[in-house]
Structure 1
Amino acid sequence: MNEVVEHAPNNPFAKAAPQHISAGAVAIESERAVAEAQGRLVIAKRFPRDEAAAFARAMEACRRPSLAEVANYRFPRGGQSVEGPSIRLAEELARCWGNIAYGMRELSRRDGESEMEAFAWDQQTNVLSTQTFTVRHLRDKRGGGEKLKDERDIYEVTANMGSRRLRARILAVLPPDLVDAAVEECRRTVKEGGGQKPLADRVRGMTQAFVKLGITADMIAARLGRPLDTITPDDLAEYLGIFQSIRDGASNINEWFGAKQDAKPAEGSKLDRLEQAATAPCAQGEG
């Protein structure tokens, strides 16, 4: 039996409950959580994962274009582009591998910040990976951060910051060779297109997705250094990774397109050539 619990509300390894909850309620909840955790361990031992079948399921999932196109993301580091598996791929691998519970929860809230915990638990091997972190209730804006008061806004910013930690916790309990094989299989699926859409249609869809983030086709072409109709499958895989990174908050637009966009007007092309052509006869006549 392979079980995956997504964003489990009850972590058996949770920190102390908030003070406004009565001690009796805390004791009852703690006993229930311990019993639930023990039950999960027993079930995982009785129905262990078939690793060969789980690996095959993961590779089959990576051949789906819908997953492959959101499976990898890129982020700039030291002047280079680094690629890694996204939270979507991590969650899918946890589902395929089985007997893994994962999630994130708010431990406490103080004025202007939340203490959060992300965890992943391999119930079969009883390996637990946790990370506690603090999220400030701020939204980055030009001129400084905007303080958040609305519960929905606070939830969104904590979930966004937590997704990266959750991704790391899930990957920490998964076999590295499984993750590496999945990343490569997804990259291959993106390049081959899954045998469905022509490359031109996929490039058009990618461009439309970038526009929703405020990134125009001209900005993409400027960074690429050539027209969009010359994009190769390798280019497409790279830019889908960049899109995923920006959308998930792992990087920002300026890190990928800012410098190229600023440099674009300096590339004198048609306008400069027309001006030069218009002034050239005058210069010859004056000579």
Structure 2
Amino acid sequence: MNDLTTQFNGQPSTQQQGGVLAQASASREMEEVKGAIFLAKQFPRNYFESKKRILDACKRPSLAASSMYSYPRGGTKVTGPSIRLAEVLAQNWGNLSYGIKELEQRNGESVAMAYCWDLETNVRQEKVFTVKHSIGTRNGLKPLTDPRDIYERVASDGARRLRACILGVIPGDVVEMAVKECEKTLSGQNAGPLKDRITQALKMFKEKYKVTQEMVEAKFGYNISSFTEIDLVELGNIFNSLKDGMSKVEDWFTKEDAKNQKSDLAAEFEKGVTGVAETLTQSE
């Protein structure tokens, strides 16, 4: 009995073990940070090469198409670089540590932090925010219990904070340079005839957000046969805004107006994408 007591007393308690593990984890994280800073100092970014990589990335049509978001506010339109463009900027600028961390979960909500840290200059941006484990529906708030749903909710809310952190660290002139290069890529893009790309855009709005051709025409104020490259770019910005959660369908499109301004092409659109393409060809 005495031997067992001595052996038990000689072992650390569960609380002590937890403290040791936490201390070891903190020490390991500190060493990783020191290593990252050391490498950043040993291999500083080449500004010329960083800008060149960013410009090359912005020449990709797929990135340029998702590089901007826009949403209405107070009767005006607010636009800016999307999270996709911000991520590409961070990847190619180099020596940045950025991401989203969930700090804790409690009482049906998560406390998370988005951050971006320039390891060379020690400039850091971070935003701590709270995310409720619920999602808005037509019937009110719906609680989220599945860990995957909670993770996606935190990631979605964190993306906008992460974008702000990245854009707060990377110089503004570099961001403007990337935006202009994306605009040049869009204006000179030859991915196919304009009417085909408009048809594809209408199809995506219809399938993902139930936005019809009539609603798009009501928003722009004219028939899609009169659309130009600029209109298609603006339509893409609206789609990115909806996809990133920066705005809602109701902010852009009104069903009642669409019914009052129903065009001759509406019937063709309802029959299928082919009908729209044929009508556009005839209008030309």
**What is the 5 A alignment of 1:94-109?**
94-109=90-105
Is 1:207 matched with 2:202?
yes
Which shows bigger deviation, 210-219 or 172-181? 210-219
- Comparing 214-223 with 94-103, greater Cα deviation is found at 214-223
C-alpha distance in 1 between matches for 2:258 and 2:240: 24
Residues matched between the structures, number: 248
Q: What CA deviation, in whole Å up to 9, does each residue of 1:52-99 have, x standing for no partner?
A: 111111111111101000110101111111110000000001111111
Alpha-carbon distance in structure 1 between the residues aligned to 2:102 and 2:89: 24
Q: 1:256 aligns with which of 252, 255, 266?
A: 252
Q: Which runs of 4+ in 1 moved over 6 A?
A: none
Counterpart mapping for 1:85-234 below 5 A: 85-193=81-189, 195-211=190-206, 212-234=208-230
Structure 1 pair 268–30 and aligned structure 2 pair: CA distance change class (3 A):
closer
The one-letter code matched in structure 2 to 1:184 is K
- Is the contact made by 2:70 and 2:78 (CA closer than 8 Å) also made in structure 1? yes
Query: 2:87 matched to 1:80?
Result: no
1:144 shift after superposition = 1.2
- C-alpha separation in 2, matches of 1:203 and 1:267: 19
Does the CA-based 8 Å contact 2:214-2:259 persist in structure 1?
no
Aligned position for 1:5: none
Greater mean deviation of Cα atoms: 32-41 or 206-215: 206-215
TM-score, with length taken from structure 1:
0.82
Whole-angstrom distance in 1 between the partners of 2:188 and 2:204: 20
Per-residue CA deviations over 1:130-170 (Å, capped at 9, x if unaligned) read 10000001111113111111111111111111110111111
Structure 1 distance, partners of 2:118, 2:172, is 14
- Say if 1:74 and 1:241, in contact at 8 Å, map to a contact too: yes
Please tell me whether residue 265 in structure 1 is matched to residue 259 in structure 2.
Answer: yes
Question: For 1:225 and 1:28, how far apart are their aligned partners in 2?
Answer: 63
Residue in structure 2 matched with residue 39 of structure 1 by the alignment = 35
Deviation at 1:269, TM superposition (A): 8.1
Query: How many angstroms apart in 2 are the aligned matches of 1:156 and 1:226?
Result: 38
Gaps of 5+ in 1: 1-18, 271-287
Structure 2: 5+ residue stretches without partners: 1-14, 265-284
Larger mean CA deviation between 208-217 and 126-135 belongs to: 208-217
Supply the distance in 2 between the matched residues of 1:184 and 1:106 (Cα, whole angstroms). Answer: 34
Change (3 A) 1:265 1:209: closer
Counterpart CA distance in 2 for 1:187 and 1:78 is 25
Measure how far apart 1:200 and its partner are.
1.8
Contact 1:139-1:146 within 8 A present in 2 as well = yes
Structure 1 residue 237: deviation in Å?
1.1
Structure 1 residue 263: Cα displacement: 2.1
Partner AA of 2:86 in structure 1? A
**Aligned partner letter, 1:263:** D
Q: Aligned partner of 2:132: which letter?
A: R
Q: TM-score, normalised by structure 2?
A: 0.83
**CA distance in structure 2 between the aligned counterparts of 1:238 and 1:93, rounded to whole angstroms:** 22
Are 1:71 and 2:102 an aligned pair? Answer: no
Q: Is the 8 A contact 2:96 2:119 kept in 1?
A: yes
Distance 2:262 2:67 in 1: 38
Q: CA deviation at 1:216?
A: 1.8
Query: What's the offset of the Cα at 1:265?
Result: 3.1
> Quick check: 2:214–2:258 contact (8 Å CA) kept in 1?
no
Residue from 29, 48, 61 that aligns with 2:44: 48
8 Å contact kept, 1:192–1:233: no
Deviation at 1:218, TM superposition (A): 2.0
Aligned 8 A contact 1:191 1:236 in 2:
no
